[in-house]
Structure 1
């Protein structure tokens, strides 16, 4: 059966690798593996996002939706060391690598959680819960509200699932908070922009580069 980066338990054979995320203000070395999004390099959309967004709030709670092995959440944590950062993904293999990448890069203000399609905890972080812990009772951190959301959302899960995911997490944005989403133009960035507006989320195109749009979503 074909494997996708949005599978919860990918069974692709392991092939560990290391990629470097080099930005003007930081350098992160990240461990990756097969069975997750862009394991061979930090993808261009993520780079466009991280090079285009303004600095995250210095304090408060920050969220990365679809964190993969952690490049966006870890950048937020490095840029806002006094903030509390959360990364979420359905992919258990990716989340466990993200946890390890946080430790390897000495970032202790970020936690990662495996969630289901509705944003509910699928399990507790391995470094915070013993085997058999009731995951549903574990992380109040997932409830929000979040002062900022950065995301390279999983467009290829299809529109109904994507819209459900965005409804789940955008309603956890704090009043006055802002979400930045990076979406490839030829994968529906402009139609997503229109959909967000139709859902009552004021949205603007914050940047456009290399075929990607950065959509800035405000919560009044």
Structure 2
């Protein structure tokens, strides 16, 4: 049986790796393992999302990351912003690694736990939702992350995703436009699109 990083449990044999990577002026030390996404380095899409995302103009409140993997996006934003970050993934191995990585990088303004998309998130009024969505899980999952995010954001909150053009960025942008009434490409880099929508304030 083949296990995928977007599934809950992995019986893939362990193959622990440790390595360092600089994100937002901090040298992070990561522990990764087989059965998680991009175990050998911080993937390029995540790097572009981290560098592009702006938390300074957001309303007050928590930031939620859907599909955190072993933690680079959420931990980098938590370190740089001092915001409280809730980080979730369906993959239990990824969650345990993200918790280890938070501890070893001394980042404590995070709450890391398992959730199948939004099924076990803690709030309904996040200031922002971030995701490098699991493309291999299929378009239906990616579009559910987009569609359901609207119900978990406060007014003026944002959804920001990274997705490659060839892996469905135009389709994702259209879905975000349909859900939010707006969807801007705020960055393009080597075929990766950072797309952002905001929840409009009710008149």
TM-score (norm 2): 0.91
**Structure 2 CA distance, aligned partners of 1:28 and 1:58?**
28
Q: Residue 126 of structure 2 corresponds to which residue in structure 1?
A: 146
* Aligned CA distance change for structure 1 residues 180 and 165 (closer, same or farther; 3 Å): closer
**Structure 1 CA distance, aligned partners of 2:64 and 2:181?**
17
**Structure 1 CA distance, aligned partners of 2:175 and 2:44?**
24
Q: How many residues get paired?
A: 199
Q: 1:216 aligns with which of 189, 196, 201?
A: 196
Q: Residue 172 of structure 1 corresponds to which residue in structure 2?
A: 152
Q: Is contact 1:19-1:42 (8 Å) kept?
A: no
- What residue ranges of structure 2 are gaps of 5+ in the alignment? none
Q: Is contact 2:128-2:153 (8 Å) kept?
A: yes
**Structure 1 CA distance, aligned partners of 2:170 and 2:52?**
18
**Structure 1 CA distance, aligned partners of 2:198 and 2:59?**
18
SS at match of 2:141: helix
Report how far residue 69 of structure 1 moved. 0.5
Does residue 1:187 correspond to 2:167, yes or no? Answer: yes
Q: Residue 156 of structure 1 corresponds to which residue in structure 2?
A: 136
TM-score (norm 1): 0.85
Q: Is contact 1:62-1:76 (8 Å) kept?
A: no
Q: Residue 74 of structure 1 corresponds to which residue in structure 2?
A: 75
* Aligned CA distance change for structure 1 residues 153 and 177 (closer, same or farther; 3 Å): same
RMSD: 1.7
Q: Deviations over 1:1-51 (max 9, x none)?
A: 222110100111001112323135222111110001111111010011112
Q: Is contact 2:146-2:175 (8 Å) kept?
A: no
SS at match of 2:180: coil
Larger CA deviation: 198-207 vs 40-49: 198-207
Q: Is contact 2:62-2:126 (8 Å) kept?
A: yes
Q: Deviations over 1:140-182 (max 9, x none)?
A: x622311012211112211122222322333201110112110
* Aligned CA distance change for structure 1 residues 150 and 19 (closer, same or farther; 3 Å): farther
